[in-house]
Amino acid sequence: MKKRFEVRILGQELSVISDSGDEHVASVIQFVTGKVEEAQKAAGSRNALKIAILAALNVADECLRMVEEKEDKRNRLESRTEQLIHLINNTR
Average pLDDT value for the chain: 94
Say whether pLDDT at 92 is over 80.
no
pTM given for the model: 0.77
Contacts of 16 (CB under 8 A, 6+ apart): 4, 5, 6, 7, 25, 29
CB 51 within 8 A of CB 36: yes
d(CA 43, CA 11): 17
Owning domain of residue 31? 3-65
Q: What would the mean pLDDT of 77-81 be, rounded to a whole number?
A: 97
C-beta neighbour count of 49 within 10 angstroms: 9
Say whether pLDDT at 91 is over 90.
no
The pLDDT value given to residue 17 = 94
Say whether pLDDT at 38 is over 90.
yes
CB 15 within 8 A of CB 4: yes
The count of domains in the chain is 1
- Per the domain annotation, does 12 fall within a domain? yes
- Per the domain annotation, does 88 fall within a domain? no
